[in-house]
Structure 1
Amino acid sequence: MIRTVIFDMDGVLVDTEPLHHDAFFRHFAELGLLISDTEYATFLGSSTTNMYQRLKQEYGLTQEVHELVRRKRELFGVSFEANTTLTLLPGALDLVLDLHRAGMPLQLASSASHETINRVFTRFELYPYFNNMVSGEDFPQSKPNPAIFLRAAELAGMPPQHCLVIEDSANGVTAARAAGMFCIGYRSEHSTGQDLHHAHFVVSELGQLSAAQIQALGVE
């Protein structure tokens, strides 16, 4: 039986990916990097730090990783604050409220930084519904490493087999399964090109899910 639900944030609760994409590619241009959309897609679900660690190694960047991360987050922050049309994804708030009313503890496990999580949770007033927020910047390796999900389960006081993860990235699904958790893949229009076949099942709309349905699920 599922006793807690762990949400990813970008691409599940809110579509900040276009803002991240814009910030990254503005930074790539500053650095003189020609990164294809295909290569960029392989980074989805990874932390910004891990992404720049890979880029530094593969492209011989001279800047320190923390400097690269700082600049990208600066560019993202400008885009986020300037954007007045950003909304939660369809069905996201309804599902959060349904689970909350059912007494289901909710956790967040996002590769985003604490700063970005705070921006999103403050703008959309999500703090009252989540018990814990775990950021990928606190781990040396990001998804597909399962550490972030195992930490969320630890904070929730739940064994992995009683945790359910909702993810939209291939790296996130792999991490959830490696953690021994039930995983629902969310294939939306904002996460095209992601291989979610390792999820226990996949939905195309969060409205397909309910608290009653989720509570009855369990790891095979």
Structure 2
Amino acid sequence: MLEAKPKAFLFDLNGTMVNDMVFHNHAWHLILTKDLGANISFEAVKKEMYGKNQDLLERVFGVGHFSQEQIDQISIEKEHRYQAAYKKHLALIAGLGDFLEKAKQSGISMAIGSAAIPFNINFVLDNLNIRNYFKAIVSAEDVVNSKPDPETFTKGADTLGIPYNQCIVFEDAPKGVEAAKNAGMKCVVLTTMHTADEFSAYDNVFAFVEDYTDPILNDLFL
């Protein structure tokens, strides 16, 4: 139950606006196992896909295993592979186009709050021609501490000039919902990669939806 109509929507990108996480999963799994020799399963990689690319590499291999130059090279190679595989499938999650337009017409400010690098954010926003909806974009390069730290979302809200408790976050990952909770924000969860039971630790979830056609989202505009 919402106390009042929200004044801002903060969107995670991958798995929340576009249903692309399996493509990220495949790209990471191939690089980690085939290129870098890690002994890690596809499912284990899925659980590590939150935060910055550097954070993921450090969780798998340990801090200091790669130089910053190597991390940057691995990161951009992974994103090139992801984009090459996903581009022909690139599309907004069902209903999102209409939802963004309704939010804009309702005077709700919107921002992107993603752990993706700008290279990937631009890939989605520009190929789908939706950049005009967003007054702020917070990427991996704009924060010191990635999710579940709240910085990604608090920085987005600060840029919009909206109090944290008047923001609704759209997320698909437990660590993203945790970041929203740490920011004092309610969350709508897209069940593109995770099931509702995987979010049982969090009490800030307003709704679970498969896509943006779910009627419960109308409550955000009341």
Calculate the TM-score normalised by the size of structure 2. 0.86
Given that 1:185 and 1:203 are in contact with CA atoms closer than 8 Å, whether structure 2 keeps it comes out as yes
Is 1:55 aligned to 2:60, yes or no? Answer: yes
In structure 2, list runs of 5 or more residues that go unmatched.
none
- Which of 73, 76, 79 matches 1:73? 76
User: Letter of the aligned partner of 1:208 in structure 2?
Assistant: D
CA deviation string 1:143-198 (max 9, x = no partner): 1111111100100101101111011100000110110011111213x445872232
Partner residue of 2:49?
44
Aligned residues: 213
User: Letter of the aligned partner of 1:72 in structure 2?
Assistant: S
Identical residues among aligned pairs (%): 24
Given that 1:168 and 1:194 are in contact with CA atoms closer than 8 Å, whether structure 2 keeps it comes out as no
Calculate the TM-score normalised by the size of structure 1. 0.87
CA deviation string 1:72-92 (max 9, x = no partner): 322322441453222111122
Runs of 4+ in 1 over 3 A off after TM superposition: 190-194, 209-212
- Cα distance in 2 between the residues matched to 1:162 and 1:39: 35
Partner residue of 2:210?
204
Is 1:159 aligned to 2:163, yes or no? Answer: yes
How far apart are 1:66 and its partner, in Å? 4.1
1:1-220 residue pairs with structure 2 within 5 A? 1=4, 2-28=6-32, 29-57=34-62, 61=65, 63-81=66-84, 83-188=87-192, 190-192=193-195, 195-197=198-200, 198=202, 199-208=205-214, 212-216=218-222
**Cα distance change on mapping 1:85 and 1:39 into 2, 3 Å:** closer
Given that 2:168 and 2:188 are in contact with CA atoms closer than 8 Å, whether structure 1 keeps it comes out as yes
In structure 1, list runs of 5 or more residues that go unmatched.
none
User: Letter of the aligned partner of 1:35 in structure 2?
Assistant: I
- Cα distance in 2 between the residues matched to 1:156 and 1:210: 25
Is the partner of 2:88 in helix, strand or coil?
A: coil
- Cα distance in 1 between the residues matched to 2:214 and 2:184: 23
Q: Give the superposed CA RMSD.
A: 2.2
- Cα distance in 2 between the residues matched to 1:168 and 1:143: 12
